[in-house]
Amino acid sequence: MSTAGTWPHLFEAGAAGTPVLLLLHGTGGTEHDLLPLAARLAPGAGYLAPRGPVQEHGLNRWFRRFGEGVFDVDDVVRRAGELAAFLGWARDHYGIADRPLIAVGFSNGANIALAAALLHPDVVSRAVAFSGMYPLEGRTIGADLSGTSVALFNGTSDAMAPIESVTRLGSILESRGAEVERNVREGGHGIHPSEVDGAAAWIASHTQKVSHD
Ligand code: MLT
């Protein structure tokens, strides 16, 4: 288990008045992977980029799974809690509690971002999820998500993030009061250039509205 203060991560404060992007890489990635994406999504913004704490055959991930798309949901819940604890530590340690925090995740990173948003909306209230899906299969969500906004970017033929799961995810988020922007394109797993533009616009329009009071 990772202790918050020793969790491998990168931090860059960024320019005053900018958000802090929480960058969550995909399976087999590292904390460095999404830095180029962050520079395109919000130039000059701060970032916090931890490394996925779970190992799968040497690949970094955010939670365990039994097979592709079959998640160990108990572990998803536990790891989302650990990530939330890390964010609490980072907010104090780096003095960013009054900065908007926007989670940006790809694939497995999108799934942990979504789990954190579903389970810890006090910590993660804004999330951009590229090729993510519903990460808590079989669980009901009791949290009030009325202060939550999520942007979903998915492909219609993504075997790793089936569109049925994405549809269910959107419905569950909305049923708890979250604002959901769905962006669906042709194709499979990945981040398309048009999605980067869309996510950048979404981040710009959601940066001023966040408060962690
Ligand atoms: C997951 O395990 O989170 C998804 O299947 C995506 C991935 O393969 O990382």
Question: What's at 212, amino acid-wise?
Answer: H
Does the pLDDT of residue 211 top 60, yes or no? no
Helix-helix angle 108-119:163-175, to 10 degrees: 20
Closest CA to 136 of 158, 160, 117: 117
Q: Which pTM was predicted?
A: 0.95
Percent composition of the chain: helix, strand, coil (DSSP 3-state, to 5): 35, 25, 45
Positive or negative: CA dihedral 115, 29, 86, 35? negative
What pLDDT, on a 0 to 100 scale, did the predictor assign at position 52? 98
Best residue for ligand 1 mutational test, from 27, 66, 71 (most atoms within 8 Å of Cβ): 27
Does the pLDDT of residue 1 top 60, yes or no? no
Please name the residue whose Cα sits nearest to atom 7 of ligand 1.
108
The pLDDT mean for the chain works out to 95
CA of 142 to the centre of ligand 1 (A): 24
Positive or negative: CA dihedral 98, 11, 199, 83? negative
Closest CA to 194 of 205, 185, 202: 185
Does the pLDDT of residue 212 top 60, yes or no? no
Closest CA to 104 of 23, 10, 32: 23
What pLDDT, on a 0 to 100 scale, did the predictor assign at position 213? 46
The verdict on the CB of residue 27 being under 6 Å from ligand 1 is yes
Does the pLDDT of residue 165 top 80, yes or no? yes
